[in-house]
Structure 1
Amino acid sequence: MTDPFDIVTCYTPGEISRYPAPLLGDFDPVVIERHQPDCHLMVQLPDGALTARASLWWKSSPPLDDHKIGCIGHFAATEIVSAQGVLNAACRRLSDQGCTLAVGPIDGSTWRRYRFLTSRGEEPRFLMEPDNPDEWPMYWTKTGFEVLASYFSALNKNLAFEDPKVMRAGDRLAEQGIQLRNLDLENYHRDLRAIYDLSLDAFVGNLLYTPLPEIEFFGEYETIQSRIRPELVLLAEMDNQLVGYLFAIPDWLRGPQTDTVIVKTVAILPHRKVSGLGAWLVANAQIAARDLGYTRVIHALMHENNVSRRLSARYATPFRSYTVFKKQL
């Protein structure tokens, strides 16, 4: 039985732009040039309508055990038949390239958009949170994908609480010469450079990690510079060298009078001398948020087995979950 659609393969923004169908929605074909997938697939019906899409990466995909990984990202679909069509075509193409495991959704790198929101809860979407139609994860599981990793966001509504154990650890760290300061917006690029360099070391052991080109990292942070409150970005330094940082930002999706801060990233240089620094940074960020008049802090997008989730459990209750999927090829 033949499929009731065609699979269109594109490699450049110009090729994709020849198909101005509604499915493209807010997907800018220029993103292909920035993210450089190895190909882009689309499902096209006989009447010319596009009903599903996905980009593939296999040349620069992340390591995972003994597998050769192929990444599937930029996914969208209007219904399950087209979704399964593009996902099956993606898996065949990745297998043809020697991949043994397909993972997604991931736009080529965990520095970019990845994960499906799989349990929504009651809270509204927050700033920089991935979102998707609720049926999309089901499209993947119906095509044979299984859970690779789970992530959670948690909410702290009690910013008055300060963990005495964490504060004692902070005193010890201060005695060792670790000092906290805020992001310096007057020297934004200097501080970003230090944050970028530390991130490359701190995240190297994370699931599906690959290095992010410097120009892309700076580009992402330049787009949000005007939304940053420097009091909520903490840099930990020892001997004038950055050894950890916490990046938090107000949840501007709630409006200019938002009561919520999002802890987006906590990164610590791997070193025994900074044990306990992550917890100290989180505690100080919550104190800073409280002092600025905020009443809630979201601990965002934590891996189920990451130390950040254990830190969060001191204060916050999970309210949302996300999933990365895998499929043996």
Structure 2
Amino acid sequence: MTHHQLKNEGARLTVHLDGPAWDGAVAATIGDVSFRDRACGAALMDQALTMIREAGRDRVLGPMAGDTWHSYRFVSESDGTPPFLLEPSNRPEEPAVFATAGFLPVARYFSARMALADVDPTPPPPTDAFHIRCWDGTAPETLLAEVFALSSEAFAGNAFYTPIPQDAFLALYRPLMPMMRPDLIFLARAPDGALAGYLFAIPDYAQGPQSRTVILKTYASRVRGAGRHLVHACHAGALALGYDTVIHALIHDDNISAARSRREGARIFRRYELLGLRLDG
């Protein structure tokens, strides 16, 4: 992937010229943004957009470090609580510079919080299509390879999705595995043992090592109903482990997960936006 790092005395960013498709055209992305000074950020933004135009791109997404597998999105609304583990955060100057350059929201997301005591304890109807178990903590590379294959299939229809090689995926998740609790990784397996779905949850260590909040980070499935069963297993399992709060993290507003989170009564505490700019007007 072609990318260029730009910086001046008060700002830095990275331009990726080969980002996701947007309305049928390859978009450039601007990510790894840090604007300590608005004027410096604006000057760097002008330089980045000139580079993108000269490269022949007429779509730009940001903030996005090349693709949605990496860091993207600005916080657009907040209740003021501190960021949770792995949550994107930004200075006010950063979205302001993007807005001044003409960027507008192209996708919206939210995070919501709920007390585990308020979760409906009724399990979903039983099924013979799969069974849910916690990961046993063995063979992490094998598990990640299975998760990569399922994710590549399940996320392929998402807006701004870009496939990545398995090695790149493993490089993203390997550093997280030591922080993960096997009893907060839930796997749905078909009768033949094939992975039908997965859910990764992680304690919010940003609150400290004894955090009583668990983050429902990622889940995906290839079998209808598996997502619902996985979420229920996560809520019930986290409650049994002594956690009292769950965060439904970084959900796209139009995703089925959003409807599920709202239906369960989770309260939104943060909103995010991905921004886009059409250079052809």
Q: TM-score, normalised by structure 2?
A: 0.94
Unaligned runs of 5+ in 1: 1-35, 44-49
Shift of 1:68: 2.8
Correspondences of 1:1-329 after superposition (within 5 Å): 37-43=2-8, 50-58=9-17, 60-162=18-120, 164=122, 167-169=123-125, 171=126, 174-176=127-129, 178-238=130-190, 239-269=192-222, 274-315=223-264, 316-329=266-279
SS of equivalent residue, structure 1 residue 109: coil
Give CA deviations for 1:239-270 in whole Å, capped at 9, x if unaligned: 2111111110001111121110000001112x
SS of equivalent residue, structure 2 residue 25: coil
Give CA deviations for 1:272-329 in whole Å, capped at 9, x if unaligned: xx32221221111000000000000000000111111111112211100111111111
Aligned counterparts of 1:168 and 1:281: Cα–Cα separation in 2: 10
Contact 1:115/1:323 (8 A) holds in 2: yes
Contact 2:2/2:16 (8 A) holds in 1: yes
Aligned counterparts of 2:257 and 2:248: Cα–Cα separation in 1: 9
Aligned counterparts of 1:304 and 1:163: Cα–Cα separation in 2: 25
Aligned counterparts of 2:117 and 2:158: Cα–Cα separation in 1: 29
Bigger drift between 214-223 and 135-144 goes to: 214-223
Contact 2:35/2:93 (8 A) holds in 1: no
- State how many pairs are aligned: 277
Aligned counterparts of 2:166 and 2:124: Cα–Cα separation in 1: 37
Aligned counterparts of 1:212 and 1:184: Cα–Cα separation in 2: 27
Bigger drift between 129-138 and 148-157 goes to: 129-138
Contact 1:184/1:191 (8 A) holds in 2: no
Contact 2:22/2:59 (8 A) holds in 1: no
SS of equivalent residue, structure 1 residue 159: helix
Contact 1:113/1:130 (8 A) holds in 2: yes
Aligned counterparts of 1:53 and 1:306: Cα–Cα separation in 2: 32
Give CA deviations for 1:89-118 in whole Å, capped at 9, x if unaligned: 211211221212111000011111111112
Contact 1:235/1:244 (8 A) holds in 2: yes
Contact 2:116/2:235 (8 A) holds in 1: no
Give the number of the structure with larger relative contact order, counting CA–CA contacts within 8 Å between residues 6 or more apart. Answer: 2
Q: TM-score, normalised by structure 1?
A: 0.80
Unaligned runs of 5+ in 2: none
Amino acid at match of 1:320: R
Amino acid at match of 2:211: T
Contact 1:153/1:300 (8 A) holds in 2: yes
Could you say which structure has the larger radius of gyration? Answer: 1
Identity percentage of aligned residues:
34
